[in-house]
Amino acid sequence: MNEKFYLTTAIDYVNGAPHIGHAYEKILSDVIIRHKRQLIDNAFMLTGTDEHGIKIQKTAAAKNITPKELCDENFSKFENAWKELEISYDKIIRTTDEEHKKVVKQIFNKLLKNGDIYKHSYTGLYCSGCESFLSPKDLTEDGLCPDHLKKPEEITEENYFFKLTKYKVKIAEYIKNNPGFILPEIRVNELLNQLENIEDISVSRTKSSVQWGIGVDGDDTQTIYVWIDALSNYITAIGYDINNPSEQFKKLWPADVHVIGKDIIKFHSIYWLAILMSLELPLPKTIYAHGWITIDQSKMSKSLGNVIAPHDVLKAFNLTEPDAFRYYMASAAQSGKDGNYSDEDFKEKVNADLANNIGNLLNRTLNMLVKYFDGEIKQEFISNKSCKIAIMAENTKTQIIEAFNKYEIAEAANLIVTFSDSVNKYVTDNAPWSLAKEEKTVECGQVLYNVLEAMRYIAIMLYPYCPNIAKDILIQLNENIDFKYQNLTWGKLKIGKITQKENIKPVFLRLDSKFATDKKKD
């Protein structure tokens, strides 16, 4: 592993409140960073909010408040949502931060000085929803924006343009020569095709069109546009400065992964790379483009009324901790593919995996340990690393690390559940209750030891998805609360009395259980 790992999420546009599409990306990112922290000490996660542009300007005007007041109001909603979902970011940046604005001006001036920005009068098709100009080939057969299904407006402006075409060949070569730079790999050909027809891009708007943004030094008619403003957050947040970059920037950059939605991959894999090339900065190591989350198989839409806030899911199921929602969202879709949320599927999946499978396995094994051995693990119960369960545990650990290295987050979650399935089968096959009845004490104790040591593995591997459930498992095993992978070797389960009857409680209640229902009524 590298000594450092720097992960960024896309920054969310604060024109409205967060929904589960926003939550999906942040949960995926948090699961990745928590896993990396299990392996190395210097793992850093950045998230943030995109707070400039015409949509915020118009929404604020309609509400009769200033754009900054709107940004402050909605920023707090995002901040509270991530706190509720236990997103463990190291920094959250706002593009209205003074330091960010200062460095964005530096970057613009540097690109201008390099000869990569020029002023040009332009007529183009502008989609206010995308906040970008579209070419006719980007539109549907009816001439609509494919994402917002609205006809773009024809606008003529004199703006500053960035020489994206200058870097076209270098970007194509970089993508082709660096397998794993774009993940999943199904996106690579799509990007290379987009590069074929790439044009220079507008990096400013006239102030008569967009007042709410960062002004261009020396030209009070222009506002710096989103590509230089928003994309630069990945370096401004960690202390980039043209003249005096911080020690943190030197340690963290380049980013190890930009986690983004598939709809903005072009901006990150083409526009952002060209800007970095012009600045002569190292390029990010990986851009991981996840899919979308639909609601009951339909794309989220305000007009359809199917936009769901993450808080509403937690409230509807009376979840005081976010683990079940985190687990469901992180395992909702295979790498890069779209996923779907429905209340029924959510309930069925978390009940099956977290309550019936993992939770029940721990509960019944601890109860057998109390019944047969007064809650005590004895020295003679310890098995060696060559036993079947130990080998399976080690193999699962290795496979999970490999899956995370490819950002296959749902696949890694499935490996944990598959391992838990195998341990449940091991219990059934070895029937410790029968061994106890036959007075095969040592054999019975060995089976229980193997299952509980497997549960310790499950807790540590499950931690990135379900930090609270993982902690509860270790508490019930009387283990130290330490989720580092360096502790994950077979045979480290504590010897001696680890539990008693009154301490054994379900680590996750079924959502439709009597206890969960009673709790909801309270």
Q: What is the pLDDT of residue 520?
A: 41
Q: Average pLDDT in the 456-482 region?
A: 97
19 is an active site residue: yes
Q: What is the pTM of this model?
A: 0.93
pLDDT at 515 > cutoff 70: no
148, 492, 519, 520: the active-site residue: 148
137, 302, 514, 521: the active-site residue: 302
Closest CA to 210 of 136, 275, 302, 126: 126
* Residues 268-299: tens digit of each pLDDT: 999 999 999 999 999 999 999 999 998 877 66
Q: Average pLDDT in the 172-193 region?
A: 95
102, 176, 250, 299: the active-site residue: 299
Q: What is the pLDDT of residue 329?
A: 96
Cα–Cα dist 292/269, whole Å: 18
Residues with Cβ < 8 Å from 166, sequence gap 6 or more? 116, 274
Answer for the pair 293, 20: CB distance below 8 angstroms, yes or no.
Answer: yes
Q: How confident is the model at residue 304 (pLDDT cuts 50, 70, 90)?
A: low
pLDDT at 1 > cutoff 50: no
Q: What is the pLDDT of residue 147?
A: 76
What are the b/e assignments for 367-397, b being 16+ CB within 10 Å?
ebbbebbebbbeeebbbeeeeebbebbeebb
Q: Which residue has the higher pLDDT, 464 or 133?
A: 464
* Residues 362-386: tens digit of each pLDDT: 999 999 999 999 999 999 999 877 7
Considering 132-136, 153-157, 165-169, 193-197, the range whose residues carry the highest mean pLDDT is 165-169
Alpha carbon 378 to its chain's center: 42
Q: What percent of the chain has pLDDT over 70?
A: 96
* Residues 108-143: tens digit of each pLDDT: 999 999 999 999 888 878 887 777 778 787 788 888
* Residue 300: both structure tokens together: 């989220």
Q: Which of the 8 DSSP states describes residue 144?
A: -
302 is an active site residue: yes
pLDDT at 486 > cutoff 50: yes
130, 258, 262, 466: the active-site residue: 130
Closest CA to 479 of 492, 491, 489, 466: 492
What are the b/e assignments for 434-471, b being 16+ CB within 10 Å?
ebbeeeeeeebbbbbbbbbbbbbbbbbbbbbbbbbbbb
The letter for the amino acid at 40 is: I
Q: What is the pLDDT of residue 247?
A: 97
Q: What is the pLDDT of residue 300?
A: 63
Q: What is the pLDDT of residue 519?
A: 41
- DSSP secondary structure of 325-388: HHHHHHTSSSTTS-EEE-HHHHHHHHIIIIIIIIIHHHHHHHHHHHHHHTTEE-GGG---TTSH
Q: How confident is the model at residue 513 (pLDDT cuts 50, 70, 90)?
A: low
pLDDT at 302 > cutoff 70: no
Q: What is the pLDDT of residue 305?
A: 60
3-state secondary structure of 299: strand
Answer for the pair 51, 71: CB distance below 8 angstroms, yes or no.
Answer: yes
| The pairing of beta strand 376-377 with beta strand 117-127 | unpaired
Q: What is the pLDDT of residue 271?
A: 97
Tell the residue number behind the tokens 């708007």, with chain if given. Answer: 205
pLDDT at 439 > cutoff 70: yes
Answer for the pair 192, 185: CB distance below 8 angstroms, yes or no.
Answer: no
* Residues 331-352: tens digit of each pLDDT: 999 998 999 999 999 999 999 9
The letter for the amino acid at 195 is: L
pLDDT at 20 > cutoff 50: yes
Cα 397–Cα 480–Cα 390 angle in degrees, nearest 5: 30
71, 105, 145, 262: the active-site residue: 145
As a whole number, the mean pLDDT across the chain is: 93
* Residues 32-48: tens digit of each pLDDT: 999 999 999 999 999 99
- DSSP secondary structure of 435-500: HHHTT-HHHHHHHHHHHHHHHHHHHHHHTTT-HHHHHHHHHHTT--S---GGG-STT-SPPEE---
**Backbone φ, ψ for residue 385 (5° rounding):** -70, -5
Q: What percent of the chain has pLDDT over 90?
A: 84
Q: How confident is the model at residue 306 (pLDDT cuts 50, 70, 90)?
A: low
Measuring CA to CA, how many Å separate 273 from each of 117, 142, 282, 374, 474? 15, 32, 9, 62, 44
Q: How confident is the model at residue 301 (pLDDT cuts 50, 70, 90)?
A: low
148 is an active site residue: yes
| The pairing of beta strand 376-377 with beta strand 496-497 | antiparallel
343-521 CATH fold:
Isoleucyl-tRNA Synthetase; Domain 1 (1.10.730)
5 membership: H or E segment, kind and range = strand 4-9
130 is an active site residue: yes
Q: Average pLDDT in the 461-479 region?
A: 97
